[in-house]
Structure 1
Amino acid sequence: MTITTRRAALAVLVAAAPLFTPLAAQAQQDVGLILNWTPGADHAPLFYAKAQGWYDAAGIDLDIQSGKGSGLAAQNVGVGAVEMGIAELGTAFLARSKGAELTAVMALYANSPFTLYWKKSSGINGPEDFPGHTLGNPSGDAARVMWPAFAKAVGIAEDAVSFVNVAPAAKMPTLAAGRVDIISDFYNGHDQKVKEFGEDLGHLRWSEVGLNPYGNSFIVNNDFLAENGELVAAFVEVTQRAYRACVDNAAPCVDALLDNASGLNREAMEDQWSRVMELMATDDTVETGLGWFGADRIQATYDLVDTYFELETEFDPATAFTNDYMSQDIKMTRP
């Protein structure tokens, strides 16, 4: 069965999943998917599709595994310890340069999530006011590593700010207490800052100054991909449909997430999902297909990583991604 034929059959199966699940289960294949981090709003569509039986209907017994960072996800997928994963694409490229056998098959964060936050009451109105201030984030934070690219983009010196080591969970409290002047964070947590700081909140997304590398993306082990192309196509299309379904109606998707992950707040997850939708929407994902990669932006992501992260072995980024497994019938909308 070709990928095209499989997609046509899959559309019927997904539409009638409760009817076909018992039959599909007889030929199901176990597939592990390691997340980039612990479950959050950006993973809700995966739990929704699993709860609806869509992966079962496609012949996939999906095991969604909690993660501990994009680096670990890329390493595990790259060595074949798990078949699929979610990782920030620059981190996946770094792993690839070190020998990880992986390929990106679908973008989740088609826009960069990197954002800088500050309090307007500190006298900062924008990056032109950053010089002489402190910026808090972990020592290995990607925003710190790529700071030279940001500084160049906004026209300030690389040493314009002083970095302060701040744990991820301490970023907001440290900013609130005035122990640092600026913090870096992902945009999907934007609403937490709005609620904490209100009108005093200042922020700038890196994409607004022309720095827009791909963020979290779905990656697949190369050997698994070579041997299971039709299964990967089925996974990607179900996943595309799930994310689009959650764009249309988030409530049941948040329900599925909360049913499978403890300690999460519904309102916070709903807020995060609204920001995730913004990160998913680009010309490529709206006009061509949800999750679609643009070759020029792939190259730009590679060039940025190569410049500031020192790839161990250079490679052609065209060999590290593919759009071949995505359906162009499923498109993102502008939120």
Structure 2
Amino acid sequence: MLGNSSVRAFATRTTRLFRMAAATTSAIALLAATAACGSAASNSSDGTPTVTFMLDWTPNTNHVGLYVAQKLGYFKDAGINVTILPTAQAGAETSVENGVANVGFTTLSNVAAFNAQGADLKFVFDLTQKPVARWCALASRTDIKTPKDLSGKTFVSFGSAEQSAVVKQMIKYAGGTGTFSTATTGTNTFETLTSGKGDFGGFYVTWENVQSELNGPKLHCFVASDWGVPGNPDQLGYAVKASWAKDASHAAALRKFIHAAQRGYDYALKNPDKAADILVDQTPTAQLDSKLARRSMEEISSGHYWTTTDPTAVPGTTDLKQAQAYLDFQFAAGTYTNADGKTAKTAPQASELSTGKYLSATNA
């Protein structure tokens, strides 16, 4: 069985996977308060710009570049102060839209879902270049060999339309009926599976799968893109409010912030153990397992989840072709709805949702 720290880490990261996907069902309520909120832009007493960044969930290796940049002085070198905020109950997307934070960790598909309902978000930095989500059953379930065997089984989820579309497509592609029931997870998808209340759920290869290998029980997982789901469903990165970034001073600070964060991620790829230790040391309240953090960084580095041509450098760019293929798939599945709760009439366009203009530290 997993120890308390292992259970906690499984719970936080697994819950995040489904909370992020649930944006399509919650954005209307979460955006209701935006009109009363302003911008979080500020300067310190010496005039240095301050950028506030909101996490999407408990600190983990997806955020390691931020903590490295903070610890090693990369943000200071760039001429900015950075405040890293724990996630709010409403989520990073709504906090950015409301002006509670300048930048937030999210996914491109979440930006699409929120903007379909009236938000003004822009995806400005894409960390993950390869799919990281996995759809898993316990390895002890010998009756589940391919996604076809998920037909008629119980999916542990929060009822997200996006996740349901992915699972249905995987099952049908493998020759199954595409039908399944759902069970709402409490705090921990993994515990729900081990209790027998569910048959399969969503995990991350760079975190839960690593933890499963360290502590057991083993998981048997499938990658959505291997089973008929087009594009990259897992473009995780940073988003800002588009209107906020139109201000020249904000845009300049954003460029400096992203450039310094990239330095942090690049350092992590070149020094995975040191970066993992920085993450653990800089986030004591998260009580992260140092062995898990190190193994997670090893998995990220060896699996090239953040990189393209250079295995030691994070490009931060969005693969628009991969992004559009996935957005079109979700649109065809009826996932995106407008502020009235009606199905969106047109597919979200990755080229409009995402930009690489802030990846340079200067305007050049």
Same fold (TM over 0.5): yes
Aligned residues: 301
2:275 paired residue number: 253
Measured in 2, the distance between the counterparts of 1:320 and 1:297 equals 13
2:5 paired residue number: none
**Equivalent of 2:289, from 265, 268, 288?**
265
1:1-335 mapped onto 2 (5 Å cutoff): 26-68=46-88, 72-122=91-141, 123-140=143-160, 142-144=162-164, 146-159=166-179, 161-169=180-188, 171-188=189-206, 189-197=208-216, 201-211=219-229, 212-227=232-247, 228-261=250-283, 262=285, 263-277=287-301, 278=303, 280-281=305-306, 283=308, 290-308=315-333, 309-312=335-338, 314=346, 315-327=348-360
Q: Is the 8 Å Cα contact of residues 58 and 234 (structure 1) preserved in structure 2? A: yes
Measured in 2, the distance between the counterparts of 1:126 and 1:280 equals 24
TM-align CA RMSD: 2.8
Measured in 2, the distance between the counterparts of 1:195 and 1:206 equals 24
Q: Is the 8 Å Cα contact of residues 29 and 60 (structure 1) preserved in structure 2? A: yes
Q: How far does the alpha carbon of each residue in 1:93-118 deviate from its partner, in whole angstroms, 9 at most, with x for none?
A: 11111222121111122223321112
1:299 to partner: Cα distance: 1.2
Amino acid corresponding to residue 311 of structure 1 in structure 2: T
Q: Secondary structure at the match of 2:318?
A: coil
**Alpha-carbon spacing, 1:34–1:145, altered in 2? closer, same or farther (3 Å):** farther
Q: How far does the alpha carbon of each residue in 1:222-278 deviate from its partner, in whole angstroms, 9 at most, with x for none?
A: 122111323222222111121111011023322322223221111112223334443
Q: Secondary structure at the match of 1:280?
A: coil
- Per mean C-alpha deviation after superposition, the further-off stretch among 123-132 and 286-295 is 286-295
Q: How far does the alpha carbon of each residue in 1:181-207 deviate from its partner, in whole angstroms, 9 at most, with x for none?
A: 222222222112224446x53211223
Identity of matched residues, %: 20
Measured in 2, the distance between the counterparts of 1:68 and 1:124 equals 37
Q: Secondary structure at the match of 1:223?
A: helix
Amino acid corresponding to residue 213 of structure 1 in structure 2: P
Q: How far does the alpha carbon of each residue in 1:132-188 deviate from its partner, in whole angstroms, 9 at most, with x for none?
A: 3332233348533533333344332221x322222241x222323433322222222
Measured in 2, the distance between the counterparts of 1:187 and 1:201 equals 10
**Alpha-carbon spacing, 1:289–1:268, altered in 2? closer, same or farther (3 Å):** closer
Measured in 1, the distance between the counterparts of 2:177 and 2:169 equals 10
TM-score, scaled relative to structure 1: 0.79
Q: Secondary structure at the match of 1:163?
A: strand
Q: Is the 8 Å Cα contact of residues 305 and 311 (structure 1) preserved in structure 2? A: no
1:219 to partner: Cα distance: 0.8
1:287 to partner: Cα distance: 11
2:36 paired residue number: none
Measured in 2, the distance between the counterparts of 1:119 and 1:280 equals 24
Measured in 1, the distance between the counterparts of 2:252 and 2:314 equals 18
TM-score, scaled relative to structure 2: 0.73
1:289 to partner: Cα distance: 5.8
Measured in 1, the distance between the counterparts of 2:114 and 2:194 equals 36
Q: Is the 8 Å Cα contact of residues 52 and 85 (structure 2) preserved in structure 1? A: yes
Structure 2 unaligned spans of 5+: 1-43, 339-343
- Per mean C-alpha deviation after superposition, the further-off stretch among 251-260 and 34-43 is 251-260
Q: Is the 8 Å Cα contact of residues 42 and 276 (structure 1) preserved in structure 2? A: no
Structure 1 unaligned spans of 5+: 1-23, 329-335
**Alpha-carbon spacing, 1:316–1:134, altered in 2? closer, same or farther (3 Å):** closer
